[in-house]
């Protein structure tokens, strides 16, 4: 035995839950107050990035750090209100895998680019509060994906080494971050490319021995 636990590090948006529509509505409301219009295509192209990166482009060169913070905070508060009011449904296979991994003794963390308050609200709305023990969010890191910082911090917080961790992601930047961290990876959906160790259209399609093959027990 190595003494190190095995860990699964979950991306959140697009991996455990599809919250794109709620994020889109939240951005529309926050930006409307600023007289700024973005298309749905522009939104999709930036989905999963940090607010500072997104708003520095959307608000234009005259926006300063206070403007970016204010608009970003307004958007996130609107998003959390929608989550609390309307709830979230796990993507197919997500709840089943989270429960099965917990029962098998895997430790689990969410490693997200989103604000901590959002991540906490989503974890509770999905019913994963007692199953996914650790959250790493935007406030906890200085660099966003594809930098590996978020995954290295999540693994460390669970007591796991990179070679005992599996990242589950739906985006190319997340899969690249896993590679840089020296971790195995599972890509879900069509947006993460073919560079992961395992690629599936849905978590519901994931073979039952996937995680044990990526990080064998013992």
CATH classification of the domain holding 133: 3.40.50.1000
Q: Is the pLDDT of residue 9 over 60?
A: yes
Which CA distances in Å does 124 have to 14, 83, 121, 180?
Answer: 17, 10, 5, 30
Annotate 57-91 with DSSP letters as a single string: HHS-TT--HHHHHHHHHHHHHHHHHHHHHH---BP
Question: How many structural domains are present in the chain?
Answer: 2
Q: Is the pLDDT of residue 22 over 80?
A: yes
Do 122 and 202 reside in the same domain of the chain?
Answer: yes
Tokens 């990080």 appear where? 215
Q: Considering the domain boundaries, does residue 64 fall inside one?
A: yes
Do 29 and 134 reside in the same domain of the chain?
Answer: no
pLDDT category at 196 given cuts 50, 70, 90 is very high
Do 75 and 170 reside in the same domain of the chain?
Answer: no
Q: Is the pLDDT of residue 63 over 50?
A: yes
Average pLDDT (53-69) is 93
**H or E element: which one contains 214?**
helix 210-214
- The radius of gyration of the chain from alpha carbons, rounded to an integer in Å, stands at 17
The candidate with the shortest Cα–Cα distance to 55, out of 19, 30, 78, 77, is 30
Question: Which pLDDT score, from 0 to 100, does residue 203 have?
Answer: 98
**Mean predicted lDDT score pLDDT of the chain:** 94
Which range of residues forms the domain containing residue 70?
A: 20-86
Which CA distances in Å does 128 have to 125, 163, 206, 217, 218?
Answer: 8, 25, 20, 24, 26
Residue where one domain finishes, among candidates 63, 86, 109: 86
Helix axes 65-86, 116-126, angle to 10 degrees: 10
Do 100 and 189 reside in the same domain of the chain?
Answer: yes
Structure tokens at 76: 């996130």
> Who contacts 15 (Cβ-Cβ below 8 Å, separation ≥6)?
91, 94, 168, 169, 170, 188, 203
Rounded Cα gap, residues 19 and 107, in angstroms: 24
Do 165 and 100 reside in the same domain of the chain?
Answer: yes
Question: Which pLDDT score, from 0 to 100, does residue 1 have?
Answer: 41
Report the share of the chain in percent with pLDDT over 90.
84
Residue where one domain finishes, among candidates 34, 55, 86: 86
The candidate with the shortest Cα–Cα distance to 153, out of 176, 136, 174, 166, is 136
Do 67 and 121 reside in the same domain of the chain?
Answer: no
Do 206 and 126 reside in the same domain of the chain?
Answer: yes
Do 57 and 116 reside in the same domain of the chain?
Answer: no
Do 142 and 53 reside in the same domain of the chain?
Answer: no
> Who contacts 160 (Cβ-Cβ below 8 Å, separation ≥6)?
4, 5, 6, 7, 107
Rounded Cα gap, residues 187 and 149, in angstroms: 19
Which CA distances in Å does 16 have to 78, 93, 105, 111, 184?
Answer: 21, 9, 19, 11, 18
Query: pLDDT tens digit string along 163-190?
Result: 999 999 999 999 999 999 999 999 999 8
Average pLDDT (25-35) is 96
Do 79 and 172 reside in the same domain of the chain?
Answer: no
Q: Considering the domain boundaries, does residue 2 fall inside one?
A: no
Rounded Cα gap, residues 106 and 126, in angstroms: 19
Q: Considering the domain boundaries, does residue 154 fall inside one?
A: yes
Query: pLDDT tens digit string along 113-129?
Result: 888 999 999 999 999 99
Q: Considering the domain boundaries, does residue 63 fall inside one?
A: yes
Question: Which pLDDT score, from 0 to 100, does residue 216 have?
Answer: 96
Average pLDDT (52-64) is 92
Q: Considering the domain boundaries, does residue 115 fall inside one?
A: yes
Q: Report the CATH number at residue 74.
A: 1.10.150
């Amino acid at each position: 035995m190595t003494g190190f636990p095995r860990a699964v590090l979950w991306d959140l948006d697009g991996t455990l839950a599809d919250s794109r529509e709620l994020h889109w509505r939240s951005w529309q409301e926050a930006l409307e107050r600023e007289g700024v219009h973005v298309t749905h295509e522009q939104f999709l192209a930036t989905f999963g990035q940090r607010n500072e990166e997104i708003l520095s482009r959307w608000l234009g060169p005259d926006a300063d750090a206070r403007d970016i913070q204010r608009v970003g905070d307004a958007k996130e508060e609107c998003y959390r209100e929608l989550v609390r009011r309307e709830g979230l449904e796990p993507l197919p296979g997500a709840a089943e895998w989270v429960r099965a991994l917990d029962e098998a003794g895997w430790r689990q963390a969410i490693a997200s680019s989103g604000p901590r308050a959002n991540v906490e609200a989503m974890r509770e709305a999905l019913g994963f509060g007692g199953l996914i023990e650790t959250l790493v969010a935007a406030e906890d890191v200085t660099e966003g994906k594809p930098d590996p910082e978020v995954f290295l911090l999540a693994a460390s917080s669970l007591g796991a080494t990179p070679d005992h961790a599996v990242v589950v992601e739906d985006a190319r930047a997340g899969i690249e971050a896993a590679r840089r961290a020296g971790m195995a990876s599972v890509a879900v959906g069509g947006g993460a490319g073919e560079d992961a160790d395992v690629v599936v259209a849905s978590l519901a399609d994931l073979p039952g021995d996937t995680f044990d093959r990526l990080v064998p027990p013992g």
